[in-house]
Chains A and B, each alone.
Chain A
Amino acid sequence: MSAQVQILFKNSTKKNSHTLKVHKEGGGYKQVEKAFGLSTEDIIDEVKRSGIRGRGGAGFPAGLKWSFIPKDNSRDKYLVCNADEGEPGTCKDRDIIRYVPHQLIEGMIIAAYAVGAERGYIYIRGEFVREAEILQKAIDEAYKEGYLGENILDKGIRFDLAIHRGAGAYVCGEETGLLESLEGKKGQPRVKPPFPANIGLWGGPTVINNVETLAAVPAIIEKGGEWYGKLGVEKSSGTKLFSISGHVNKPGNYEVELGIPMKTLIEEYAGGVRGGWDNLKGIIPGGASSAILPKEVCETVTMDYDAIAKAGSMLGSGAVVVIDKSVCIVKAVERLSRFYRHESCGQCTPCREGTGWMSQIMTRIEAGGGVEGDIELLGSICGNISGKTICALGDAAVGPIAGSIKAFREEYLYHVEHGRCMVG
């Protein structure tokens, strides 16, 4: 196993890594000082040069996102950290929060300074009660040491940071659903444009970044965007946390450079597929919403945004779910279809109705009641949802169904014809 550069998890295995003391011993908070000595334009340029793309799932270049914040807008600006972590299979942000919360806070202070935000929020999923407690302690420590508040490091720079807990709604991971929730409303996503950079939280220009993106910022300031940009591969620079779950011998969160072969990631880091590589059926590469890739694709595909997209799926949040040959794909997708039905916020008709119908048909096929034409019907519903909704949840619901019909059509056909699974 080749040694990989560790940026996010550099200090995560140290004892009491969650404390300010240990964070500072590892060089923490030095980058706040450095950043305050730079112009805001220089910081944004540095982050642009790094090429880092949003780690929450959409993969939008972070530096570009920051540069969209208008300079001439007199309204208060905001920085929001998305710690909703709801994409099934994903549990990486949880470990950043549990083990290196100050790295996230440091990244947020720098980002806030760069975009001119004096107030920030970390929107954490409601179920992470203990994680929110750890984070609150870290925020309290940072206030006490003068890294947060009205006059950071006596430089006259202000940044106030608070936690806002969600309450169990997957759709709040969508950035405008999250903003609605932060404003004390149902988390129903907003029509875009206007984008949050122009009209975001309480109408003010707002940057929303994932935990992992923000936690990488101190290293970019320390070593430079060019250094970071050289890690990984073209258009997918840097390191990424992959949450590897399912049928592997050593499930876990692994930090590796983007572009690593998927097979290496599974075989060398996650301890291999249960029962050996040849027992692999397929891998969901980027969370439940990404299309499952069959074994033959997994043999050669690399873990970067473009390669996974080219293979017909998406890198998403980096949640790698490994599925072995004992699993009926129809049953697995049926489970996911129920999830999307439950999580559709009900705002857009194609998603509200479509997720319900898809789930019903999937359940019917799985239970042995599938009829001829069901597979085509699913395809038709997918087509009627895709691209026709306000947010990406509709497309997310389509991903696993459309992807599995394409890659594992014979299992669907067998199910409809024989009324039972092809396996087991």
Chain B
Amino acid sequence: MSQPAIVSENLTYHYGDLVAVDHISFEVGEGEILGFLGPNGAGKSTAVKMLTGQLLPKEGRATLLGQDIAHHAKQIQAQIGVCFELTNLYEPMTAAENLNLFARLFGVRNFNADALLERVGLGGKGKVRVETYSKGMKQRLMVARALINRPRILFLDEPTDGLDPVSSETIRNIIKEAQTNGTTVFLTTHDMVEADKLSNRVAFINKGKIVALDTPYALKQQYGKRALKAELVGANGQLESREIVMDAPDTAAQISRLFAEEKVVTVHSEEATLEDIFIQITGRGLV
């Protein structure tokens, strides 16, 4: 892993007696995409609020780009971009007015709103009031707003939640492009497939604690089972499916018998999904 862009050390927050985030520690390297996964109420949003300087930790500390967020929030916020889960745009204003406002707050010189809108697939829509936008367009505008200052760290909270496939794909491409340009991405999502596709590593958070943190591949290796799933024609002429576990002592013999004795139609390799692994670790689903 390269030099860490984010370092969380025993980061803790509680609302009264309710512990929302419980001593979480992790690092995110520069240019890395970390998927931050957990069910509702697991502590994801509170963790993001502390990492972006919206909440002061009750215990522990978070260091972003080498500076403690509790003491240098404004210096850090100048270098990060945040895309919130809930749409919080100035809807009576146009898209360009929204972006120009934030460009001035970030002190971006010679800002070109049209170019950024073009980049997120909203070319030619700059002079349209945001209140007339569809949900997908608003979400793309939110992502565009988070990119105004060419952030070194990008926080994305459920960026594709409830979007149509085209909008989701556009946003995924923007995330990949940002990473290519060296941006670190902290991605909070429910979408396991998206997290699997985009993230270099994923962290599972449950009841305020990080319960697993590794690459998707390593997690699948550690927790998942590998199998072959075959479809074959049964004795009565009906299609049947059969599963062969890959790591069993007699796997090779089973495969040989399958092809020798059965009429195989299709064969697929099967591996655990991140959701399977999350359920296996926490005993609960992600919703």
Asked if chains A and B come from one complex, the reply is no
List B residues at the A interface (Cβ < 8 Å): none
List A residues at the B interface (Cβ < 8 Å): none
